[in-house]
């Protein structure tokens, strides 16, 4: 799981989290007691109406790279893909 979540954990962290997460996941299983047959999932708490603005381009007044350390010619650099 840690690899899937892109976290490198120490052996101590792995052991501690394994113990703690087992307890938590076990507690979550209480939801099995709830009859949810035919009940829709609520991805959102309130029903929202779609609100669309006019399709007009707008610009930002700030520099989106203002916080970037690895910047070059108006781009930011990342690690190599391979």
Closest approach, Cβ 28 to another protein, in A, equals 5
Q: Residue 67 has which token pair?
A: 């916080």
- Residues of this chain that interact with another protein (CB under 8 A) are 1-2, 4-9, 13, 17, 20-21, 23-25, 27-28, 30-34, 36, 39-46, 48-49, 51, 53, 60, 62-70, 76-82
Is residue 9 exposed (0-12), middle (13-18) or buried (19+ Cβ within 10 Å)? Answer: middle
Closest approach, Cβ 26 to another protein, in A, equals 9
d(CA 3, CA 9): 9
């Amino acid at each position: 799981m840690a690899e899937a979540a892109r976290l490198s954990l120490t052996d101590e962290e792995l052991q501690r989290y394994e113990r703690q997460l087992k307890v938590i996941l076990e507690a979550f299983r209480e939801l099995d007691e709830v009859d949810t047959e035919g009940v829709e999932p609520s991805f959102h708490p309130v029903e929202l109406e779609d609100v669309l603005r006019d399709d007009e381009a707008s610009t930002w007044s700030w520099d989106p790279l203002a916080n970037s350390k690895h910047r070059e010619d108006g781009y930011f650099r990342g690690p190599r893909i391979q």
